[in-house]
Amino acid sequence: MFVDEVDIRVAAGDGGRGCMSFRREKFVPRGGPNGGDGGSGGSVYIVATEHLNTLVNFRFHPNCEAQRGAHGQGSNRTGHDGRDIELQVPVGTMVYEIEADASGCSPGNRPLNLLADLTEPGQRVLAAQGGHGGFGNAHFATSTNRAPRRADPGWPGEARELRLQLKLLAGVGLVGFPNAGKSTLISRISAARPKIADYPFTTLTPHLGVVTLDADRSFVVADVPGLIEGAHAGHGLGLQFLKHVERTKVLVHVVDVSETSGRNPVADFETVRRELKLFDPALVERPQIVAANKIDVMADLERLSLLAAHVETQGIRVFPISAVTGDGVRALLEAMWQPVARARE
């Protein structure tokens, strides 16, 4: 199951309370205070890992609590600290704090504060700080107060409501209408194996694939579920997954130029570009490439010519390919690599 947004509650451990105790031993008059301090509560950290690609674990376990600190004891024994916990999330996860709201609004309607954008493996953020342990009465002994009868309670740990939002990290994003051949293309150029069928919206979740050109050149490609007109407003699957192309370095429009779709390739290209612009105007400023797919079953060459003439006036290169047979795919991969390499530099 692919889950890219969840609300969770994290609670750090409370600090242990201090101990009020006095030394009482035979032949030791006026032994004095010997109450130890309480231990500190455990904290909650969120850590990015490249071994996950979904937030599904938090869908079923939204409450995460760290261990509380142990109480202090007599004979100046300090309570042990509570264990920290680390919550592993995929690289590309954004961590938001959901602000408290006295008006009783649901978490989905409250303002969000960005705590961290975890874009590197091993990057971590403190989500909830553990409470400090309370002081025992031995801590308060002075020359004028040799028998203090005071011990502090532990301080409570932080508790927060958080929203985790995953935006996949990929160098290249494949966009286009349903059944344009995006899934077939990513299965051709990588080891990704998305479901492939001849009906619309076969791909229900994004898929990532690693493309290796040679020993020194590789990049990640994201196959985004098909876009339709009105995707930016929530039609189809667009609004749910458009955010996954926000981090890409280059966008590849996969356009079906065959007659089997019954659509106009130029209109398809412009519809997808318009939806990207309405979702985020910065997306259409990214480097873009057009992969004119399904040339192996194309009978009317004019469809390809019209598409090429239209997009090349906008400074966008067109690569005729067949994702099924592999024709033209190598040249397309080299074109994908160039803007990725420039972005890395």
Q: What is the largest CA-CA distance in the chain?
A: 108
Which is more confidently placed, 196 or 144?
144
Range 197-218 burial, b when 16+ CB lie within 10 A, else e:
eeeeebbebbbbbebeeeeeee
Q: Measured between alpha carbons, how far is 37 from 19 in angstroms, rounded to an integer?
A: 6
Q: Reply yes or no on whether the pLDDT at 206 is more than 80.
A: no
Domain that holds residue 73: 5-166
The pLDDT, as a whole number, for residue 239 is 55
The pLDDT, as a whole number, for residue 37 is 96
Among 110, 139, 166, identify where a domain stops.
166
Among 120, 138, 166, identify where a domain stops.
166
Which is more confidently placed, 260 or 139?
139
Q: What percent of the chain is modeled with pLDDT above 90?
A: 50
Backbone angles phi, psi at 165, to 5 degrees: -130, 120
> Are 155 and 200 contained in the same domain?
no
> Are 299 and 264 contained in the same domain?
yes
Residue 178 makes CB contacts below 8 A (sequence gap 6+) with 200, 201, 202, 203, 225, 226, 228, 236
Model confidence pLDDT, tens digit, residues 288-309: 999 999 998 888 888 899 999 9
Average pLDDT over residues 180-201: 79
Query: The domain spanning residue 47 has which CATH number?
Result: 2.70.210.12
Residue 276 makes CB contacts below 8 A (sequence gap 6+) with 175, 242, 245, 251, 283, 284
The pLDDT, as a whole number, for residue 1 is 57
The pLDDT, as a whole number, for residue 2 is 72
> Are 176 and 230 contained in the same domain?
yes
Backbone angles phi, psi at 84, to 5 degrees: -70, 155
Average pLDDT over residues 272-297: 89
> Are 158 and 190 contained in the same domain?
no
Q: How many domains does the chain have?
A: 2
Q: Measured between alpha carbons, how far is 49 from 56 in angstroms, rounded to an integer?
A: 14
Among residues 9, 35, 126, 131, the alpha carbon closest in space to that of 82 is found at 131
Which is more confidently placed, 10 or 60?
10
Q: What percent of the chain is modeled with pLDDT above 70?
A: 90
**Secondary structure of 266-286 as H, E, C letters:** HHHHHHHHHHHHHHCHHHHHC
The pLDDT, as a whole number, for residue 225 is 77
Roughly what angle, to the nearest 10 degrees, separates helices 182-189 and 329-344?
A: 80
> Are 222 and 118 contained in the same domain?
no
The pLDDT, as a whole number, for residue 129 is 97
> Are 64 and 186 contained in the same domain?
no
The pLDDT, as a whole number, for residue 196 is 72
The pLDDT, as a whole number, for residue 260 is 81
The pLDDT, as a whole number, for residue 30 is 75
Map tokens 């890395």 to a residue.
344
Model confidence pLDDT, tens digit, residues 226-251: 676 655 455 555 556 777 788 888 99
Structure-token pair, residue 98 = 């959901």
Mean pLDDT of the chain: 87
> Are 125 and 246 contained in the same domain?
no
Neighbours of 312 (CB within 10 A): 12
The pLDDT, as a whole number, for residue 280 is 86
Query: The domain spanning residue 260 has which CATH number?
Result: 3.40.50.300
> Are 134 and 253 contained in the same domain?
no
Complete DSSP assignment for 178-235: TTSSHHHHHHHHSS------SSTT---S-EEEEEEEETTEEEEEEEPPPP-TTGGGTS
> Are 100 and 246 contained in the same domain?
no
Indicate the SS3 state at residue 109.
Answer: helix
Residue 240 makes CB contacts below 8 A (sequence gap 6+) with 4, 234
Average pLDDT over residues 210-220: 87
Q: Reply yes or no on whether the pLDDT at 67 is more than 70.
A: yes
> Are 154 and 36 contained in the same domain?
yes
Name the band, by pLDDT with cuts 50, 70 and 90, for residue 198. low
| 27 strand-pairing partners | none
Among 148, 166, 184, identify where a domain stops.
166
Q: Reply yes or no on whether the pLDDT at 278 is more than 60.
A: yes
> Are 155 and 21 contained in the same domain?
yes
In this prediction the pTM is 0.78
Q: Measured between alpha carbons, how far is 193 from 184 in angstroms, rounded to an integer?
A: 9
> Are 21 and 146 contained in the same domain?
yes
The pLDDT, as a whole number, for residue 334 is 93
